[in-house]
Amino acid sequence: MSRTGDVLRLPILYIGLALARFGLIDRQRAVETADLAWPRIVTGVARMSKNAADVAMVGAVLGADAIAGVGVAGPFWGLAFAIGGGVAGGTIALVSQRYGANAYEELGLAVRSSVLLVVVISLPVTAAFWFFPRGLVTLINSNPAQIEFGATYLKVVGLGIPFAGLNLVGSRVLVGADDAYTAMQVRAGGAFVNIALNAIFIFALGWGVAGAAMGTVLSNVFAVTAFAIGISRGSAPAFGDFPVEVDPWGTYADPSTLKDLVRIGTPVGARNLVWTVAEFPMLAILGTYRDGTLAAFVVARRIWGIMNTPGWGFGLASSSLTGQALGKGKEALAEAYGRDIIRFSVATYAVSALIAAVFAEPLVGLFINPDSPPATEPIAVNLIYAACAAMLFRGISGSSIGPLDASGDTRVPFLSQLLGMFGGSIPLAYVGSVTALGIWAIYLAFMAETLIPAAINYWRFNSGKWKEISREIRPEESGASPVD
């Protein structure tokens, strides 16, 4: 591993080793988890920083209306991750178990079928965004300036939806095959390309929000190209060897594999879609609050995204490690990985929340220009403080999902997210808009968004039902007993 890799890995590893020293987790599992999690966390930081840079650059040039416009278009772009993330959720479940059982032919079918499914599902969405951007944005916003910015951004960024979905699938293939490092290199590389292109398009060429959108599209094209070359050839220039090599000319429309992907991935996509769909009423409600609240929320959510990156690593590490153990029939080991990773995740989230709380004011200052409404900055800072408290529950929720996803038990996490957003977060935000509770309701909404899923997902993990469900999708070649 490179010296740079050590620098990025060590803070995560030290947290795990500290927990192991106190007997809270197994030392070897801490090392394995850190090795898989840190590249994905770095990827998350890079990509969420890219999203934050979009807003910061646009805000610096065009002000609060442009920030709000990009924010309003954000939920539509989130459909890319609902679609791609759903298919990719099925991909990592199938790939990790087949990789653990050395069933490489079935692994290839899973990869090719995932590619086909992403493309078929995403192209109609791209067409809708290209032809009807203004009508879609108008559904959740009535401010003419914000609508103009949002529609311009949405029309262009929609071209990247198929590539964003394929990007997610490529990443999950590598993580499921025990290689989060190469996936990090590709996706983080795409994020840095995005930031560089944004600087050129927004500042040098003056393309504004369209430039931010075009940077997002081209960066996803870059990442997908790297994944396609690497997975089909077993290696890619600048990224080195890949852990799997899949024949691109094999069968794509394998009915059995597609059926498993749809069955596993639909609840995962629905779970991601809950988050995305919930933003529509949330943004509409926030538009009725005092000036500056909507822009402050958009800023806080971008910073929240960076704070949430430990979940990227621990959730996928848990899926991969528990999935591989399940593929070998070692259910007790799979549960041990799951419990240790939950504790590891919560501790890391606590560190992330503490850092964000200390630097909340300067972080918000990066996004707000002098022409923004005066209330924008203090509201955003307070939202970050609320997010810091909520993040501790996010650590439980996200890492509890890993074993469930790996086993194919994806329905309960979907329902927990649905209840957290539509049974807690959004109703609270609405109550604040019509009562004296006001902005405090948004702080409470942050808590409800994470507390409810954390309780439900941990309950499901603790029940052990997911181990039984995993037996339905284990590869035939494993030859393993259902228990240790």
Domain ranges of the chain: 10-474
pLDDT confidence bin for 481, thresholds 50/70/90: very low
pLDDT confidence bin for 2, thresholds 50/70/90: very low
Give the pLDDT mean for 396-408: 86
State yes or no: pLDDT of 286 exceeds 60.
yes
State yes or no: pLDDT of 479 exceeds 60.
no
Phi, psi of 361 (to 5 degrees): -65, -50
136-170: b (≥16 Cβ within 10 Å) or e = bbeebbeeeebbbbbbbbbbbbbbbbbbbbbbbbb
Q: For residues 22 and 376, which has the higher predicted lDDT (pLDDT)? A: 22
State yes or no: pLDDT of 3 exceeds 70.
no
Distances (CA, A) of 219 to 129, 202, 214, 215, 298: 19, 15, 9, 6, 22
Give the pLDDT mean for 332-339: 91
pLDDT confidence bin for 214, thresholds 50/70/90: very high
- Of 44-58, 175-189, 212-226, 441-455, minimum mean pLDDT range: 44-58
pLDDT tens-digit series, residues 308-331: 888 778 887 888 888 888 878 888
pLDDT tens-digit series, residues 54-90: 777 777 777 767 777 777 777 787 776 677 777 877 8
Give the pLDDT mean for 224-229: 93
- Rounded to whole angstroms, the Cα distance separating 175 from 92 reads 7
State yes or no: pLDDT of 5 exceeds 70.
no
Residues of the chain with pLDDT > 70, as a percent, come to: 91
pLDDT tens-digit series, residues 120-131: 988 998 999 999
Give the pLDDT mean for 214-231: 92
20-51: b (≥16 Cβ within 10 Å) or e = beeeebbeebbebbbbbbbbbbbbbbbbbbbb
Highest mean pLDDT among 96-100, 191-195, 334-338: 334-338
- The radius of gyration of the chain from alpha carbons, rounded to an integer in Å, stands at 21
Compute the mean pLDDT over every residue in the chain, rounded to the nearest whole number: 83
- Of 60-64, 280-284, 333-337, 437-441, minimum mean pLDDT range: 60-64
The pLDDT score that the predictor gives to residue 370 is: 61
The pLDDT score that the predictor gives to residue 430 is: 93
State yes or no: pLDDT of 474 exceeds 80.
no
Q: For residues 442 and 254, which has the higher predicted lDDT (pLDDT)? A: 442
- Rounded to whole angstroms, the Cα distance separating 467 from 56 reads 45
- Rounded to whole angstroms, the Cα distance separating 246 from 228 reads 10
Q: Find where tokens 């369209």 sit.
A: 210
State yes or no: pLDDT of 482 exceeds 60.
no
The pLDDT score that the predictor gives to residue 339 is: 92
The pLDDT score that the predictor gives to residue 222 is: 93
Question: How many CB atoms lie under 10 A from the CB of residue 241?
Answer: 12
Give the pLDDT mean for 254-272: 80
State yes or no: pLDDT of 483 exceeds 70.
no
SS3 for the chain is CCHHHHHHHHHHHHHHHHHHHCCCCCHHHHHHHHHHHHHHHHHHHHHHHHHHHHHHHHHHHHCHHHHHHHHHHHHHHHHHHHHHHHHHHHHHHHHHHHHHCCCHHHHHHHHHHHHHHHHHHHHHHHHHHHHCHHHHHHCCCCCHHHHHHHHHHHHHHHHHHHHHHHHHHHHHHHHHCCCHHHHHHHHHHHHHHHHHHHHHHHHHCCCHHHHHHHHHHHHHHHHHHHHHHHHHHCEECCCEECCCCCCCCCCCCCHHHHHHHHHHHHHHHHHHHHHHHHHHHHHHHHCCCCCCHHHHHHHHHHHHHHHCHHHHHHHHHHHHHHHHHHHCCCHHHHHHHHHHHHHHHHHHHHHHHHHHHHCHHHHHHCCCCCCCCCCHHHHHHHHHHHHHHHHHHHHHHHHHHHHHHHHCCCHHHHHHHHHHHHHHHHHHHHHHHHCCCCCHHHHHHHHHHHHHHHHHHHHHHHHCHHHHHHCCCCCHHHCCCCCC
State yes or no: pLDDT of 4 exceeds 80.
no
The pLDDT score that the predictor gives to residue 341 is: 93
